[in-house]
Amino acid sequence: MRRSAKRTVPNYVIALIVLSAFMITLYGMLITRLEHARYYTFINESIGQQVEVTYRIIAKGERLSGSENLRVPFSNRSVRNELETDVRLLQSRLSTLLEGIRHTQIHGTMPLADRFFAEDHATSTFTRDIGLLMNGMEEFTTLTDTLLAATDDATLSQVLKRMSALRDWQLSPVIQRTRTAASGEIRAAHRLALTIDSVNVGITLFMLFLMGRYFFGPLANRVTEQEDHISKVEAEIERSTNRDPITGLPNERALLRHLEALLTPGSSGSSLAILIHFQTLTHSRLLLDGTFTSDLLNVLAERLQQNGHAGQYLAHLGQGQFILLRDNEVQATDIPGCITRLEEDFATPIAVKAHRIQVRLSTGFYCPDGSETPDEVLANVQAAQDSAFRSSDSRHQRFAPEMHVRRREQKTLAQELKKGLENGELRAHFQPQANLRTGRITGFEALVRWYHPTRGFLSPGLFLPLAEELGLDDLLGEAMLEQGIRALRSWDEQGHNIAQLGLNFSRTQLQNRKLPDILKWALERDSITPDRIAVEVLENIHVEDDNDPIVRNVRALSAAGFRIDLDDFGTGSASITGLRRFHAHRIKIDRSFIADIDKRSDNQQMVSIMLHMARNLGLEVLAEGVETEAEIAALRSIGCYSIQGYVLAKPMPFEETGDWLHTYRAQSGNSRGPRSVAV
């Protein structure tokens, strides 16, 4: 095979390229020298007097020289104006050049100005020349300021003498001599030029040309870009410190500044502050993916802005809280209308991605009197909203001073709740469930109880909403799960055949996509089968459609073998829908239908209808809150045989369940059915 010849560049081509580069460089140096040599003249005497001007012109190799006497009338206004114009232009160019020299970096090392003082460059001809150049330029700039400020010829003459005395520098007016036919007067057109009187002037100027072309020009562009970037960064910093990053609305910092400008003494009744808390946002932190809550926030903010009024200021405080300020004239009679408008704005579900969300909101409102600080206004409206959030009577409340007392108590209780969870003060109590036909105990329901070390027993209604608000419901649910599994295992070891344990989960826990895996892992660890755990779902828990995370989780648990109980059945507005969506195995009829069922025919009829419906759907039924033997007899008569309530026993600590089970079985037997056993 023939090998291809390696191509090489002929030597004469290389020589030609090198020679061309040299000639171009030399030509540039020559042109630079000739260009600047045209402006050489020297001032020998004071301006404004009869002076001898020595001139030297070099152009195209022809040298002309000579001298003439003429009077330079600097006091002439037009000549003075030309001088000032030239000086200001020169100052601008000098300033740009100096700034470029100071910041230019050679080969990415130190700034050029710093190299003048580096020992290893102190003897460099180039850096020394540049140092002289900078020193002269700085001193010259100072003198031009004095020149522009001069008001008489004597001062001008003195300044120009100092300029002429500068080492290696000259201020050179180029005199174009023309004679007029009328008077023969000599006119002087002055042009300022800054030159270096040095043997290496051509090389220095050529190098300055290259630096300007390849260093200072790009540097100026970079400086401009940096200034633009800095302006953008400053604007972004201002935005980030005063705007919410998700909605773009003013944040709490901006709100307080707005309140400071708004609040004036004697402005009572003219402003209205409304704090809106979307409880849906509190519950949605575990929904779908990380963008869901952000999308929901933006939709809520958009709807609030679209339905706003003139004089309205809207801010987002985070955690599902928005604040609305009405700083125009607001009367007390306007407040109910504002609240009604808010309710109407969010009465219909909100579409977010593929979901329709029915939001729940609570509001607190307050009318500042102008004497408060912005922080006090915000604290007052937050206290009102907090009271509305916890109230079972009204979701919209106006601030009252005593609300601060309740809020402080809630904060104290919140701190104690965290400590109580850490110290194991919250414990599971177990209430039995029985079958009236067989008399057997079929299961227990685990209910949380808190015995405070100083306050004593605290009602679950007092601390459970607080736990959910603080995000402690996950920890609380895990604690109840662990205690419940330990109870099942202990009952098995003691020979008690407890078929089922009911566990309650908060809305937030049911939204957690990891809940099915958490439950399965916990049971597998202790060899407990899923069919022994009943997941209790409140019947009145609100879900919008079958794609709701709660629905998906509950269905996944049902498919994994867990039992699903629909708790408090009959108290919600979508009982039948809940049965279909949650794939429930059993309904637990609420106490409100069981109380006095032996005396109230309407309750008997309602329970009978529920029983008939459940049988047709293949569901089990349990009556909750049964407290008397008469209620047991009434339930038997209509065919309801599974019960739970004080008639059996109150919720008890695990340590008491073993003795209770022995006593119950000894007293009731299998023929007579369950009887109340005191604990």
In a shared domain, residues 65 and 179: yes
In a shared domain, residues 277 and 354: yes
Find the DSSP H helices in 495-563: 507-511, 515-525, 549-559
Give the pairing of strands 350-352 and 272-278: unpaired
In a shared domain, residues 427 and 396: no
> Percent of the chain at pLDDT above 90?
17
> What tens digit of pLDDT does each residue of 72-109 get?
344 445 445 555 665 565 556 556 555 554 544 333 34
CB-based burial of residue 283 (10 Å sphere; 0-12 exposed, 13-18 middle, 19+ buried)?
A: buried
In a shared domain, residues 427 and 394: no
Please list, in sequence order, all residues whose beta carbon lies within 8 angstroms of the beta carbon of residue 276, skipping any fewer than 6 positions away. 304, 321, 322, 323, 324, 342, 361, 362, 363, 385
Of 230-239, 282-291, 378-387, the poorest mean pLDDT is in 282-291
Find the DSSP H helices in 530-628: 549-559, 575-582, 591-594, 601-617
Mean pLDDT of all residues in 449-457: 88
Q: Which two tokens stand for residue 223?
A: 């400086």
Of 13-27, 550-564, 654-668, the poorest mean pLDDT is in 13-27
Mean pLDDT of all residues in 131-144: 62
pLDDT at 253: 85
Query: How many distinct structural domains can be found in the chain?
Result: 3
Query: With bands split at pLDDT 50, 70 and 90, how would you rate the model's confidence at 67?
Result: very low
Please provide the average confidence, as pLDDT, over all residues in the chain: 70
pLDDT at 153: 60
DSSP string computed for 557-574: HHHTT-EEEEEEETSSS-
Query: With bands split at pLDDT 50, 70 and 90, how would you rate the model's confidence at 443?
Result: very high
Q: Which two tokens stand for residue 521?
A: 């892992």
In a shared domain, residues 475 and 572: yes
CA–CA dist 384, 400 (Å, integer): 7
Give the pairing of strands 178-179 and 186-187: antiparallel
CA–CA dist 240, 227 (Å, integer): 20
pLDDT at 270: 61
For residues 588 and 568, is the Cβ–Cβ distance under 8 A? yes
Which backbone phi and psi does 205 adopt, to 5 degrees?
Answer: -65, -40
> What tens digit of pLDDT does each residue of 253-269 get?
888 888 887 776 555 45
Q: What is the CATH number of the domain that holds 505?
A: 3.20.20.450
Q: Is the pLDDT of residue 128 over 60?
A: no
Please list, in sequence order, all residues whose beta carbon lies within 8 angstroms of the beta carbon of residue 205, skipping any fewer than 6 positions away. 32, 33, 36, 196
Q: Is residue 479 part of a domain?
A: yes
Query: With bands split at pLDDT 50, 70 and 90, how would you rate the model's confidence at 398?
Result: confident
In a shared domain, residues 381 and 481: no
In a shared domain, residues 500 and 570: yes
Query: With bands split at pLDDT 50, 70 and 90, how would you rate the model's confidence at 531?
Result: very high
CA–CA dist 275, 265 (Å, integer): 22
Q: Is residue 80 part of a domain?
A: yes
Q: Is residue 418 part of a domain?
A: no
How many alpha carbons fall within 13 Å on the CB side of residue 564?
Answer: 27
Q: Is the pLDDT of residue 395 over 70?
A: yes
Q: Is residue 238 part of a domain?
A: no
In a shared domain, residues 455 and 568: yes
Q: Is residue 405 part of a domain?
A: no
In a shared domain, residues 374 and 478: no
CA–CA dist 170, 198 (Å, integer): 11
In a shared domain, residues 121 and 207: yes
Of 10-24, 151-165, 559-573, the poorest mean pLDDT is in 10-24
pLDDT at 179: 28
Q: Which two tokens stand for residue 552?
A: 């998906």
Which backbone phi and psi does 456 adopt, to 5 degrees?
Answer: 80, -150
Highest mean pLDDT among 54-58, 146-150, 459-463, 636-640: 636-640
Which backbone phi and psi does 563 adopt, to 5 degrees?
Answer: -90, 145
Single pTM value for the model: 0.52
Which backbone phi and psi does 62 adopt, to 5 degrees?
Answer: -100, 125
Mean pLDDT of all residues in 3-11: 50
Q: Is residue 417 part of a domain?
A: no
Of 266-280, 392-406, 434-448, the poorest mean pLDDT is in 266-280
Mean pLDDT of all residues in 456-472: 81
Domain that holds residue 77: 32-212
In a shared domain, residues 262 and 298: yes
In a shared domain, residues 467 and 361: no
Q: Is residue 411 part of a domain?
A: no
Boundary-marking domain end, from 156, 190, 212: 212
201: closest CA among 390, 34, 429? 34
Boundary-marking domain end, from 162, 196, 212: 212
pLDDT at 197: 34
Other beta carbons within 10 angstroms of residue 161's beta carbon come to 14
Going 297 to 301 to 307 to 309, the CA torsion angle's sign is positive
Q: What is the CATH number of the domain that holds 335?
A: 3.30.70.270
Q: Is residue 136 part of a domain?
A: yes
